[in-house]
Structure 1
Amino acid sequence: MRELDYVRASDVEEAVALVSGDPDARYLGGGTNLVDHLKLGIARPARLVDVGRLGLDGVEEQDGPDGRVLHVGANVRNSDLAAHPVVRSAFPVLSRALLSGASGQLRHQASTGGNLLQRTRCVYFQDVTTPCNKREPGSGCSAVGGYGRQDAVLGASEHCVATHPSDMAVAMAALDAVVVVRGPQGERRVPVRELHRLPGDRPDLDTTLEHGDLVTGVELPFTDAARCSTYLKVRDRASYAFALVSVAAALELDGDVVRDVRIAWGGVAHKPWRATIAEEALTGRALDEDAVRAAVDAELADARTTDQTAYKLPMLRGATTRTLLRLAGKDPS
C-alpha cells in the first residue's frame, strides 16, 4: 500500500496553488480514470487535490468573445450533460457522443473536465510490465509490432501509436469548443483542437496544459451547423466499448450545397482528429456520396496502416458517408 495525501480544495485558487506548487500532486475530479491508474500502478502521485466539490457544475448560456455560447462547468457529470435540454436541441452530437461512452454508472460519476483529459486505453500503456513511451519515456513502444488492432492510423510516430479514448472530446472538436483553464498565471481559453497533442517524440504529454493547470469549464458556440449534428460510433459491441472508429459531424446546407461542415474522427489518432481537408473539399459543393468519399480519401492521404489496422480506412469512409448523408436527409446507398 502506497501512502498519499488527500486534500479537499476550498476554491479554484487554492486548488491551483496546491497542485502547481507540488510536482507530485494531481487533481481528483470524478476519478473514473485516475482511480483505475492508481490501482494499476500507472499513476503514483504523492498528493491528491479533490476539486469535485468546487461547484463548477453549472450549464448556462453566456455571451462569449465571438457570440453566444453554452458554458459547461468542468464538474458537470456526463449523464447530466447528455440529458440537458439545450445540449439535446442545440448540440445533439454532444449528447449522442456522451451516451455512447462507458456505462450508465460511469456516466453518472465522470466529469466534463476529466473526460477531456482521460488517457489512452492502449493495452500496453495499462500493463506496467511492458515497455511504453507514454508511461515511461524512452522505454520503447510495445504496440509497434505487437497487438495493434486499435492503433492510430493518422498522426502517429515511431514512439507511440496509441489512440485517444474519449467520445465527448471528438464531439467537442467538431463543435469548435473552447476549454477554459485556470493556471498559476490566471485564466486562459484554449480551443479544444489545440488541447490534445500528437505523440511526436513526447507521447507522455497528452495535452498542451502545464502542470497545475485546472480545466474549469468548456464553452460551446451556438451555430446552425451544431443544431444539425450527430455522432456515429463503430465498436465491437453495443455498449461499454471504445471506438474502432467514430464520426462527429455537423452540417449546414444551402439547398443541396454545403455551406458549413464540421467533421471530427475518433479511434484513429492520439487526439480527436479534425478532418479539415475533407471539410474544405466539401464546402461549396453539392453533397452526395461520391463527394463525401472523395473528401474522406483526401483526408486519409497520409494515413499509415498495418495489417491489423487496414480495416479502419474503409470503415471510416463508410461511417463518414453514412453520417453526412443522413444529416442531409438522404439515404446512403
Structure 2
Amino acid sequence: MKSKQNKRILPSLLILAIAVLGFLWLEQRPSGTYTVETFVDGQTETRQFESLAEAKAYMERGDHRALVGPDGEVIDFTGAGIAVTPTGQVTYLFKDAALSERQSYVAGGTRLRLLERGQDHLKVSISGADVFVPLANMTLYPDALVKKRGFYEVRDGDVYHTVEANDNLAGTFLVGPANGTEEDRYYTENVRDVFDSPYQFASIASTSPYSAAELNRFLETLSDSPLKGKGAAFKDAESKHGINALFLLAVAGHESGYGTSAIARDKFNLFGFKATDNDPSGNAATFASFEDSVDAAANLFAEKYVTGAYARGPYPGNKQEGINIFYASDPYWGEKVAGTMYRIDRALGSAYYERIK
C-alpha cells in the first residue's frame, strides 16, 4: 500500500519542481519585449525582440534607430534626433567640443537639432548655427521617436516658420516674402536653405523710406496701441543714432505688441530691456516715456550691436550671425523681427523691400 502512495506522490513532486523552476526562470528573465524603431523616409518601422542583446545588435546595424525597453524608456539610439534644453534656465552654445568658447545662448525648452553625441557634449544645429552644448541635463529624442518636427513652409507667396518647442516658444510666425509661389515644406534649421530672408539680413544702420507721418498711418491701424501718433519718436531716433526706424518699430512691435504689454504700459519699456527669462516684469527697466525707450534702444543697437562688444553683423540675423546672437534667448528672434518688418513695410507700400531685395 505504501509503495502505491509513493508512486502517486513522485510524479506530483516532479511536476511541482518543474513549475517552480519555470516560475524562477520567468522571474529572472526581462519582462516584455524590446522594440527597435527605425525612421525611414518620414515613416517609422518597428521590430520587436525578446532579448536586449538581439535588439541592441539590430539597432547598431542601422542609422536613425531607437532601442526602446519594455516600459517604453529609450535605452539607446543611432543617428540624429533632437535635444531639448532644460526648462527654466538658459543653455549656452559653444563654438568647440571642449565647451571653452561661448557663441550664444538659448531659452529653456528649446529644441536643438542633434547632429552628434560625445562623451560629455552634443553637437547640435539651431537657427543657422552648428554649435556644441553640454550633455548634462539635456533630454534626447531620436528621430525614430520624434512625432512633431519644426519646418519652414511656403504659403500664399510668403515663408512661415512652425516651431516645435516647450513652454511659449512653439508656434507659427511669418518670416518674409518667398522667392517663388510654389508651396512646400522644408525641415531645416537654416532659413537660407529656403529663401534669402532679406529683412533678416539687411543692415539696420540705414534710413527707412518712411516718414513719421507714414509710420503714424500704420500705427493708426492698431486699435489698442498706445503708440498712435508716436512715429516721430522712431524717426528722431533714426536721425540721432543712425538706426533704421522701420527696424525699431518692428522690434517694439515684436517685444511689446506695439506698447500693449504689461511692461510697456507700466514701465514705458517697449524693447524688453533687462527683462530676464526668470522674472521679465520684475527685472525690466523703467523709462520716463515711450520716446525715452525708443531713444535708449536706438543708442544700444548703435553702440553695442552695429559696432561694439556685441557686433556680429548689423542685422537681425540668427544664432550664427547678427544681433540675435546676443540680444535674445529666443533662437528665432531675428526671424520674428524680420516678419514684423515685412508686415509694416507691406502695409505701407513695400518701399523698403524694393530697396533691399
TM-score past 0.5 threshold = no
TM-score range, shorter chain: under 0.3
Task: Tell me the TM-score normalised to structure 1 length.
Answer: 0.24
- Structure 1 or 2: larger helix share? 2
Higher RCO (CA < 8 A, seq sep 6+): 1
Task: Tell me the TM-score normalised to structure 2 length.
Answer: 0.23
